[in-house]
Chain A
């Protein structure tokens, strides 16, 4: 397990160098996208239109932040990760079409995303669930907000971040998925636990 600091735009080569259990910190541009923003971006792509942001080499963050407007400036109050499995529906297409290099969230993702990450060169960075203050502290600036009509949590918040992390690489670009490994280990431990409890 190694620690890396990555600056956006992140290259495919840098991503292929990472292994599960590595820790990464991201500086540069990161944007939030939940279910609705994923759907809209993919619909635009299908129509041959471009989303309002060049996403190649960037990090997408599964997050519905609490944002406050002070004078004319948006400020992030809290920005913890949301459960990523909801985006399993879209993420493979999203990675394929937009070449995002890091997907940030909590709880892990499934086989479709794992395959897309291997094929197109991306990783999943697990951020600590609930660690909203730590996340907000790494956001230096809200660059802009797009698709605000989707509502505050679902909008596309484009953020300038510095050393955003720690993110544990839980899915790498070689087909490894740490959450799946842990689940398999839990399954292996089951009989031993039953025995110890006498059940």
Chain B
């Protein structure tokens, strides 16, 4: 099979898996939140979320009507041939998935307000490339909903305030967001790099499974500290009150300019949809986030 056909088929499958079935780590985290939530209204919301996920999975229907804007992350082995064919193939996959799954058309021209109708357009789907050693191609899709995207925030805070300033900015951002990003959320937090790099890293941090703490013990500690603080706000599931405002916090960083301290906070709604697959040189496909029969 030609690489472009294979990538297109894998792309469609990844989109279908992502919007109909949550990865196991997210599901388990929501189940745990349901067991431990003490606020009645919050618990009712979590129960509805779990029922909805179950129904979506059983009927192969998108779990939320907002199937997001489509973003791909690719780790391309340097020895792989025909990498220039991948972008086109994933665009085709998006058009097909929009019809077949179906996905809601979510690509709108910001000047004419015209919806393309098939989830493709200028820079959509967006592809983040990383060249790695080897001869496999790893593709991850992140369908990103609009409600949680609208409260993402970037702070160019004073370097003098340092980590204290970072903590302050993150918790203020969570409190300002309130019910809007459909909590319980996952927070991606990144510091340094520059405005664009901080936000890119923050969003990419959302891809790290909830049951994988940060490999850096200091950052793992910061993640726990921010998690506890966010859950002290009392916002709770869907902003109706309770102790689960977030399911997890994922931190990343880049070295910074001496004069700059960019802090980015990316929000993910409870429908934390993502799916990954690895395509081997012999054409076999290994699905990494979902069981595929």
Where the two chains meet, the residues of A that have a C-beta atom closer than 8 Å to any C-beta of B are: 1, 21, 23, 64-66, 77-80, 83, 106-108, 126-134, 136-137, 166, 168, 170, 178-179, 181-183, 185-186, 189-190, 192-194, 196-199
Contact = CB atoms under 8 A, between A and B. Distances in A.
11 contacts: A78-B104, A126-B45, A128-B238, A130-B270, A132-B64, A133-B63, A134-B51, A182-B234, A186-B178, A186-B233, A197-B164
Given A130-B52, A166-B48, A78 B179 contact: no
The 10 closest A-B pairs by CB, nearest first: A130-B64, A78-B65, A131-B52, A129-B182, A128-B48, A132-B65, A134-B52, A199-B168, A133-B55, A80-B65
A199 B167 contact: yes
Given A65-B65, A186-B235, A130 B271 contact: yes
A199 B164 contact: yes
A190 B171 CA distance: 9
Interface residues of B, number: 47
Contact of B62 (A129, A132, A168, A170): A132
Contact of B235 (A136, A182, A198): A182
A133 B240 contact: no
Contact of B240 (A77, A131, A178, A190): A178
Interface string B184-226: 0000000000000000000000000000000000000000010
B167 A128 contact: no
Residue among B41, B62, B228 facing the most chain A CB atoms (10 A cut-off): B41
Given A106-B238, A137-B55, A193 B232 contact: yes
A168 B41 contact: yes
B164 A166 contact: no
Given A128-B52, A128-B238, A197 B229 contact: yes
A107 B237 CA distance: 11
Given A79-B65, A128-B45, A186-B234, A194 B175 contact: no
Nearest to A127: B48
Given A66-B104, A126-B240, A183 B178 contact: yes
Contact of A131 (B49, B164, B236): B49
B47 interface: yes
Contact of A108 (B64, B179, B269, B270): B179
Nearest to B166: A199
A168 B43 CA distance: 11
A181 B39 CA distance: 13
Contacts of B233: 186, 189, 193
Nearest to A187: B175
Contact of A168 (B66, B235, B240): B240
Interface string B28-71: 00000000000011001101110110011001011111100000
Contacts of B159: none
A182 to B, nearest CB: 5
Given A130-B66, A133-B56, A199-B168, A170 B271 contact: no
